[in-house]
Chains A and B, each alone.
Chain A
């Protein structure tokens, strides 16, 4: 059962030194308004967990938290899109924990699904071997990674009903998995509709996983934000 609150109220759930999962992929399907609130609130010493750094060039979406130097540890699979973040990692202002993208997602899934580890062959024969424990299953070598959980997950969906049932549109990417893997889950949505308006088979994340719903930008506003970004960076 979820509670609807404002983004200003929601950001108070995140305190200094928290671990925060942020849904989305390189700027797409990210909770833009909540990220702005986190950046404005100046919360410090965050461990941020997201699949990759923000939109190419930095300074956009989670890149705003990088510019504010709010992150002390970054758990991810890729940082190559944000030169500011790379600089902070090289200067040892930010600790980096990498795993291959598919492994990263399964670690979060394991964290949310009550599993003890992820056992994967990906990364065998590479430096990734040093990041995990090696185990043999049926005679074949695998790498064992620990699950990932967070204090707070801030995710993005298209719509919610008052029960916290979430509907996605487009690529849901890391959002449904992260919705399961934190003590407090805040879902930013384009709109909140009545119970029953999201048909049961359209529910991408059942409300059982969601604690707070916040209204983000409307779909039209988001469409304009992304069109402007894509046009400004010669992608559209």
Chain B
């Protein structure tokens, strides 16, 4: 499955007028696939709202960059501000949706994305604030790690970034809705079977029987 499959699928979640913060990597790529006629206001936590694509060489501004320190442009109607204002937007519940990557997500909607004890030390950055404050949280990631192990777990084994906040999981194999009762399989990626998804997912899929039924008929 090509990498941009996930980015294209994320873009289907953009609704007109939404304020959205996109994490670094695949989530940021999804901005390239915003449907025509849909206006999405992109926020970056270092202090920008309504930013656009990267500038042309010679036209960059040393003080206009995204949260990954990459040059961006501000669109007409956009705004720049300080980081305290930015996190008032984020933590204060003013951002409609965030899309982030993860190391693990579990059936209770908890997410681990910032630390692997003894291996990965980066700090949480703005991830905890975003996951707590944004109205809707989508996790976008590959379905398994590079060794083929499930990244969707019954319970996260790594230190959490936030507990019980994830609303939707988009992977290269499937889309899940995360509800109080557990994981609901909503879509399969092209060529993927429900049985395969079940085998590569550690958390319990509440509606897997319905999907098996669909496949038989």
A residues near B (Cβ < 8 Å) are 25-29, 51-52, 55-56, 76-81, 86, 89-90, 96, 98, 100-103, 105-106, 109, 120-128, 158, 168-177, 219, 222-223, 225-227, 230-231, 235-236
How near does chain B come to A11, taking the closest CB pair, in angstroms? 22
A236 to B71, CA, bound (A): 7
**B55 interface contact, C-beta 8 A:** yes
Residues of B that sit less than 8 Å from A by CB:
45-48, 54-55, 57-58, 60-65, 67-71, 80-84, 87, 90-91, 110, 115, 121-129, 132-133, 159-164
Name the distance in Å between A115's Cβ and chain B's nearest Cβ: 13
| One of B54, B64, B121, B125 near A90 (C-beta < 8 A) | B121
With both beta carbons as reference points, the residue of chain B lying nearest to A177 in the complex is identified as B84
Nearest neighbor of A222 in chain B, beta-carbon distance: B62
**B47 and A172: CB pair below 8 A?**
yes
Q: Which of B70, B81, B126 contacts A101 (CB 8 A)?
A: B126
The complex places the Cα of A11 from the Cα of B137 at a distance, in Å, of 45
Do residues A105 and B87 form an inter-chain contact, with CB atoms below 8 A?
Answer: yes
Task: List residues of chain B with CB within 8 A of the CB of A123.
Answer: 128
A166 to chain B, nearest CB (A): 12
Instruction: Decide if B123 touches A76 in the complex (CB within 8 Å).
Output: yes
Asked if residues A126 and B128 are in contact (CB atoms below 8 Å), the reply is yes
Shortest distance between the CB of B87 and any CB in chain A (Å) = 3
Residues on B with C-beta less than 8 A from A81 are 69
- How far, in angstroms, from A51 to B62 measured CA to CA in the complex? 18
11 A–B contact pairs at CB < 8 A?
A25-B67, A81-B69, A98-B123, A100-B126, A100-B127, A102-B128, A126-B159, A128-B124, A170-B63, A171-B82, A177-B84
Minimum Cβ distance to chain B for residue A61 (Å)? 10
- Shortest B68–chain A CB gap in Å is 7
Contact B60 A172 (CB under 8 A): no
> Do residues A101 and B47 form an inter-chain contact, with CB atoms below 8 A?
no
Contact at B82–A173, with CB atoms within 8 Å? yes
Q: Which of B48, B64, B129, B163 contacts A102 (CB 8 A)?
A: B129
Question: CB-CB < 8 A to B81: which residues of A?
Answer: 171-172
Closest B residue to A27 by beta carbon equals: B69
- Distance in angstroms between the alpha carbons of A170 and B47 in the assembled complex: 9
Q: Is the CB of A223 within 8 A of B60?
A: yes
Partner of A86, one of B69, B121, B133, B161: B121
Q: Shortest beta-carbon distance, B176 to chain A, in Å?
A: 21
A235 with B70: CB separation less than 8 A: yes
The smallest beta-carbon distance between B131 and chain A, in angstroms, is: 9
Decide: A79 near B123, CB < 8 A? Known: A105-B83, A171-B64: yes
Given contacts A101-B124, A125-B164, A223-B61, 12 further A-B contacts (CB under 8 A): A56-B69, A78-B125, A80-B122, A102-B128, A122-B129, A126-B159, A126-B161, A128-B124, A169-B63, A170-B62, A173-B83, A177-B82
Residues of B within 8 A of A52 (CB): 123, 125
Given B54, B84, B123, which contacts A235 in the complex, CB threshold below 8 Å? Answer: B54
B45 close to A227 (CB less than 8 A): no
Q: Please state if A171 and B80 are interface contacts (CB–CB under 8 Å).
A: yes
A126–chain B nearest beta-carbon distance, Å:
5
Let me know if A225 and B82 touch, CB within 8 A: no
Known contacts A28-B46, A28-B69, A123-B128; decide if A236 and B57 are in contact (CB<8 Å). yes
When C-beta atoms are compared, the residue in chain A nearest to B111 turns out to be: A126
A106 CB to closest chain B CB, in angstroms? 7
